[in-house]
Chains A and B, each alone.
Chain A
Amino acid sequence: MIPAYRVTEQTYRVDVSSTQTSGESVRQQLPFAPMLYGKTISSIVSYPGFNGFFGNQVNCYMTLKNRRNETLMYRFPLIETWSEQSTLAAYNSRRPRMFRLYDVDLSKSYIEVSDFGGTINIGQPFCSILFYTGISAELTAKTVKEL
Chain B
Amino acid sequence: MQPIIERSYLTEVNLGTVSVGRTINFQYIPELQDVTVYGIQVYAGEDQQTSPNGAAVVPNAGLPSIAVTLVVGDDEIVTRQSCFDLRSANVAGFVRTYANQKINLVKSYITLVSVTGISNNQSILFNFIYRR
How distant is the Cα of A64 from the Cα of B9 in the complex, in angstroms?
10
A76 to B5, CA, bound (A): 11
Given A91-B88, A91-B93: A59 touches B49 (CB 8 Å cut-off): yes
- On chain A, the residues within 8 Å of B43 by CB distance are 77, 79
- Interface flags for A61-102 (1: CB within 8 Å of B; 0: not) read 100000000011111110110000000001111110111111
Q: Which residues of A contact B5 (CB under 8 A)?
A: 73, 97-101
- Which of the candidate stretches A12-20, A111-119, A125-133 sits at the interface with the other chain? A111-119
- Interface flag for B74 (CB, 8 Å): no
Given A73-B7, A102-B6: 16 more A-B contacts, CB < 8 Å: A58-B49, A59-B50, A72-B7, A73-B8, A73-B9, A77-B125, A91-B89, A93-B88, A95-B92, A98-B3, A99-B6, A101-B5, A101-B7, A112-B52, A137-B4, A138-B4
- Show the binding face of A for B, using Cβ within 8 Å: 1-2, 4, 24-25, 58-59, 61, 71-77, 79-80, 90-95, 97-102, 112, 114-115, 117, 136-138
